[in-house]
């Protein structure tokens, strides 16, 4: 977007604000989004009643759900309502920028916002509908917008006044932190300097996937489609909660993760039968436990990921029992895979099984090129390259399948939008001079004929 080159104009332009109001601040739609993302707000019937540039009003009704033993508002719920009120006011200064968690994002041009500190003073019991009003000093608008535009941290304190009618019953001061994704990931490769919220973001999607694997383990033994004894430990409370939350909106998602687990497990087993000794390169390993739960004693496994994720794996797994598994620190956006492997004992003469699980849909073509070109240089005719991918129709919301569109919306709200898909995977094979060993959609793996499964597939490329 070009707003940043004329920030002052946009901050004061009526036309620019009206466009922003229509796309980001429709009161009913935004309230509904908050209710989806923060279910307690739905339970309380909290609503957004007004938004202007730098200003927000919300209402917390006095109801049995929000009242305490004195039939006045619960103090903590007043603070909750005030928190989101101030956050919306700050979001209004970042013109047309999606706010992760509430406004869907279709690329990496989105804002992450968290509360850093809060104080509140109660003046009187709140015994009527509570109106929260947050107003940002107009003299700060341009400075805050420019800091965000420059990928700098935005830290500011916003007063939130709370009223029963005309009566002031409480005042809160919230300090917020906001930044775009490009600014957050500057120190992604440094475990000492990595932004704590970028670390959280990095782990969240991985936690969701392992949580979905854990849900499979809750089924009776005879109904399980695969076994993963590490899944519950790896998922933890966050991963299981994420999986259950997503499964409520997209019940087929767990099936899709089961399908890819089954297909990839079987593909590696088949490869193993062909060779006595071979390499496995697992790109963006996340919380994958495949080579801990399956016995591939002749495989030299190279797990590639950011240092912060590999450190997490070292904390969980006992590598003294698996000296065939090697951790390779890498930033896939900047460092060629071939170059990083060349710094290890990686034997290029061995057949190699490359895995890129849950990755291709998150990167644009220039990054796909960067990764594929590096792998292509290492692929012998005996090597395989396994990827999962989604359809281009899914990316473009043209599947005609409501469940698929709901899933995409949830991923975009979470700040994990899918950016890349293929209706014909032969495009990739031809581009990198690879042949296709197998290409199959998730529905075939599961023997399910519903259309939604046709938009998620698995492909094995062979070296040319």
| Residue 274 covered by a domain | yes
Evaluate whether residue 170 is within a structural domain: yes
pLDDT of residue 13: 63
Which of 184, 217, 239 lies at the terminal end of a domain, its last residue? Answer: 184
Residues 125, 67: Cα–Cα separation, whole Å: 11
Query: What number of CA atoms fall less than 13 Å from residue 66's CA on the CB side?
Result: 25
Question: Is the CB of residue 177 less than 8 Å from the CB of residue 114?
Answer: yes
Quick one: 134 exposed, middle or buried, by C-beta within 10 A (0-12, 13-18, 19+)? buried
Q: Are 386 and 353 in contact (CB under 8 A)?
A: yes
Q: Say what the pLDDT of residue 322 is.
A: 85
Residue 9 exposed, middle or buried by CB count within 10 Å (0-12, 13-18, 19+): exposed
Q: What is the pLDDT of residues 190-200, one digit of tens each?
A: 888 888 888 88
Residue 258 belongs to domain with CATH number: 3.40.50.150
pLDDT for residue 12: 52
Adjacent-strand bridge partners of 131: 59, 163
Instruction: Look at residue 220 and tell me if it is in a domain.
Output: no
Instruction: State the pLDDT at residue 14.
Output: 61
One domain for residues 172 and 283: no
Q: What is the arrangement of strands in the sheet containing 352-356, beginning at the earlier edge strand?
A: 325-329, 299-305, 278-283, 352-356, 384-390, 456-462, 435-441
The whole-number pLDDT of residue 190 equals 86
**Low-confidence stretches of the chain (pLDDT beneath 50):** 1-9
- One domain, residues 330 and 438: yes
Does 257 fall in a domain? yes
pTM, whole model, 2 decimals?
0.88
pLDDT of 281-295, one tens digit each?
A: 999 999 999 999 988
For residue 42, CA distances in Å to 66, 69, 217 come to 11, 21, 31
Q: Is 163 helix (H, G, I), strand (E, B) or coil?
A: strand
Tell me the CA distances in angstroms from 290 to 238, 294, 323, 446, one per residue in order.
21, 6, 15, 20
180 and 256 in a single domain? The answer is no
Residue 221 lies in a domain: no
pLDDT in tens, 36-95: 999 999 999 999 999 999 999 999 999 999 999 999 999 999 999 999 999 999 999 999
Look at the alpha carbons of 26, 29, 31, 36 in this order and tell me if their dihedral is positive or negative: negative
Question: Of 142, 167, 184, which one is at a domain's C-terminal end?
Answer: 184
Residues of the domain holding 319: 251-462
Residues 257 and 123 in one domain: no
Same domain, 156 and 45: yes
């Amino acid at each position: 977007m070009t707003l940043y080159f004329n920030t002052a104009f946009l901050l004061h332009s009526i036309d620019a604000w009206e466009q922003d109001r229509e796309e980001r601040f429709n009161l009913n739609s935004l309230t509904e989004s908050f209710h989806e993302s923060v279910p307690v707000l739905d339970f309380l019937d909290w609503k957004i009643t007004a938004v202007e540039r730098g200003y927000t009003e919300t209402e917390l009704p006095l109801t049995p759900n929000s009242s305490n033993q004195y039939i006045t508002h619960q103090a903590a719920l007043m603070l909750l309502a005030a928190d989101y009120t101030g956050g919306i006011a700050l979001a209004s200064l970042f013109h047309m920028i999606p706010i992760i968690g509430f406004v869907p994002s279709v690329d990496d041009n989105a804002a992450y916002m968290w509360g850093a500190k809060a104080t509140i003073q109660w003046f009187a019991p709140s015994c009527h509908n509570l109106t929260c009003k947050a107003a940002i000093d107009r003299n700060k608008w341009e400075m805050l917008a420019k800091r965000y535009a420059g990928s700098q941290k935005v830290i500011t304190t916003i007063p939130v006044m709370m009223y029963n009618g005309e009566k002031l019953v409480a005042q809160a001061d919230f300090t917020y932190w906001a930044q775009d994704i490009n600014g957050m990931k500057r120190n992604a490769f440094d475990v000492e300097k990595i932004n704590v919220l970028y670390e959280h973001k990095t782990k969240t999607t991985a936690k969701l996937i392992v949580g979905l694997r854990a849900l499979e383990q809750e089924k009776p033994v005879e109904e399980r489609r695969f076994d993963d004894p590490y899944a519950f430990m790896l998922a933890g409370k966050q991963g299981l909660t994420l999986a259950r939350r997503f499964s409520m909106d997209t019940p087929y998602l767990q099936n899709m993760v089961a399908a890819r687990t089954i297909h990839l497990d079987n593909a590696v087993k088949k490869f193993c039968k062909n060779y006595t000794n071979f390499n496995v390169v697992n790109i963006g390993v996340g919380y994958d436990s495949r080579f801990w739960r399956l016995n591939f004693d002749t495989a030299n496994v190279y797990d590639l990921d950011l240092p912060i994720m590999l450190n997490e794996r070292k904390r969980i797994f006992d590598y003294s029992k698996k000296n065939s598994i090697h951790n390779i620190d890498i930033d896939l956006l900047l460092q060629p895979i071939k170059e990083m492997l060349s710094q290890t004992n990686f034997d290029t003469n061995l057949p190699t099984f490359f895995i890129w699980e849950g990755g291709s849909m998150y990167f644009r073509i220039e990054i796909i090129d960067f990764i594929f070109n590096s792998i292509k240089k290492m692929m012998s005719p005996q090597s395989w390259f396994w990827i999962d991918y989604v359809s281009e129709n899914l990316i473009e919301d043209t599947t005609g399948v409501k469940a698929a569109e709901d899933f995409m919306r949830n991923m975009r709200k979470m700040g994990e939008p899918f950016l890349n898909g293929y209706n014909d995977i032969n495009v990739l094979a031809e581009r990198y001079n690879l042949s296709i060993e197998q290409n199959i959609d998730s529905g075939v793996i599961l023997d399910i004929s519903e259309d939604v499964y046709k938009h998620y597939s698995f492909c094995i490329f062979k070296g040319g």
